[in-house]
Amino acid sequence: MDLSVIIVNWNTKKLLDDCLSSIYKFTRGIKFEVIVMDNASEDGSTQMVEKKFPQVKLIKNKDNIGFTKANNQGIKVAKGDSIFLLNSDTYLIENSLKKLVEKSQTENPKVVLAPLLLNENRSIQQSVGFFPNLPQIFFWMSFIDDLPFGQFLKPYHEDHDTFYQKEQEVDWATGAAILVPKEAIKKAGPLDEKIFMYGEDVEWCYRLKKFGYKMLFSPTTKIVHIGRGSSKKIPTRAFIGEYQGVKYFYQKYKSFLALQIARIFLKIGALLRVVIFSILGRKELAQSYVEAFKVA
């Protein structure tokens, strides 16, 4: 088995349908399996999978156990030489799985691959970055890395389109679409289950790199990622989750002093955003950062 595709689903029936349909429409030339981990959906997702995609290995959880635990469940039963984590709110527009497998096979064995992600309008979506060291957090919170020269600062979130024009080594890539050799997971371990959602990809990539695996962003293939398919009504959760993810990263890997400095940067950044979005009349966004400030 060349590849195991693991998709975690929580009440994204239509998106999951589109995702699975695209996989079976475009994927040719490799041996693969698809594993859907359903976190107690109540929208008919599991019935849809059973009816339309009987070839899918469907595992039903009785509760919403979160993104990390569900992915780890899938990894345990996966038979592929490589694992491809894929969000349910993505869909293929070409034979991406074969291209990724072939790219992985031609590279050094110690490589983790991230494809180019596109928004629905086919614009480039930020999906990779560099570890949140103190300078990176400062550049992020102060908006410095948004300036034209920001891509040269190795920002935590790489959001300059020009960066995505060519293949490059990065520190982390979003778990929305990432290919990891099974052997790498055996050495570095699965996702950290103390993280329910958000930030788990950064922490995982940090461990994978510690075990000698290179993180490679490659525009070899493109995948559309709609984004927040199961959490559109609660954007605040994403902001809070990201702040908590950075805090956890520092608690796990950095010194107490570094943690306190990082928290100060996060709080200052949250306050700046509260002020800016309040002035712009974006009350909902401002309130989201009020909540983020509380957890920073």
Tell me how far CA of residue 23 lies from CA of 75, 99, 147, 290, in angstroms. 19, 13, 37, 40
Residue 241 lies in a domain: yes
* Residues 53, 90 share a domain: yes
CATH number of the domain residue 192 falls in = 3.90.550.10
Choose the final residue of a domain: 197, 225, 253: 225
Do residues 101 and 82 make contact, with C-beta atoms less than 8 angstroms apart?
A: yes
Rounded to whole angstroms, how far apart are CA atoms 41 and 236?
Answer: 21
Does residue 200 fall inside a structural domain?
Answer: yes
Pairwise CA distance, residues 29 & 2, whole Å = 10
**What is the predicted pLDDT for the residue at 228?**
57
Query: What's the domain range around 244?
Result: 235-295
Q: How many domains, in total, are found in the chain?
A: 2
Q: Tell me: do 128 and 275 sit in the same domain.
A: no
Do residues 219 and 245 share a domain? no
Cβ-based neighbour number of residue 139 at 10 Å: 21
Given a contact cutoff of 8 angstroms between Cβ atoms, the answer to whether 111 and 40 are in contact is no
Residues 172 and 272 in one domain: no
CB 32 within 8 A of CB 65: no
What's the CA gap between 73 and 75, in Å, rounded?
5
* Domain shared by 210 and 262, yes or no: no
Instruction: Output DSSP code: residue 213.
Output: P
DSSP state of 5: E
Same domain for 19 and 134? yes
Q: How far is CA 291 from CA 66, 126, 134, 246, 288, in A?
A: 21, 24, 22, 15, 5
- pLDDT for 235 equals 65
Q: Is 9 within a domain?
A: yes
Contact between 289 and 280 under an 8 Å Cβ cutoff? The reply is no
Q: Which tens digits make up the pLDDT trace of 233-249? A: 546 788 899 999 999 99
Are residues 199 and 90 part of one domain?
Answer: yes
Are residues 57 and 31 part of one domain?
Answer: yes
Specify whether 192 is located in the same domain as 76. yes
Q: What's the predicted TM-score (pTM) here?
A: 0.92
In a domain, 51, yes or no: yes
Name the residue type at position 173.
A
- CB-hemisphere CA count at 13 Å for 218? 21
Q: Read off φ and ψ for residue 245, nearest 5 degrees.
A: -65, -40
Query: Is the domain of 164 the same as that of 277?
Result: no
Specify if 230 maps to a domain.
no
Last residue of one domain, picked from the residues 225, 248, 271? 225
In a domain, 24, yes or no: yes
Last-in-domain residue among 174, 192, 225: 225
Taking the C-alpha atoms of residue 54 and residue 58, their distance in angstroms, rounded to an integer, is 9
Specify whether 46 is located in the same domain as 159.
yes
Residue 190 shares a structural domain with residue 251: no
Per-block mean pLDDT, blocks of 10 residues, the chain (296 long): 97 97 98 97 96 98 94 97 97 98 86 96 95 97 93 93 95 97 96 90 96 95 80 67 95 97 97 95 91 93
pLDDT at res. 108: 74
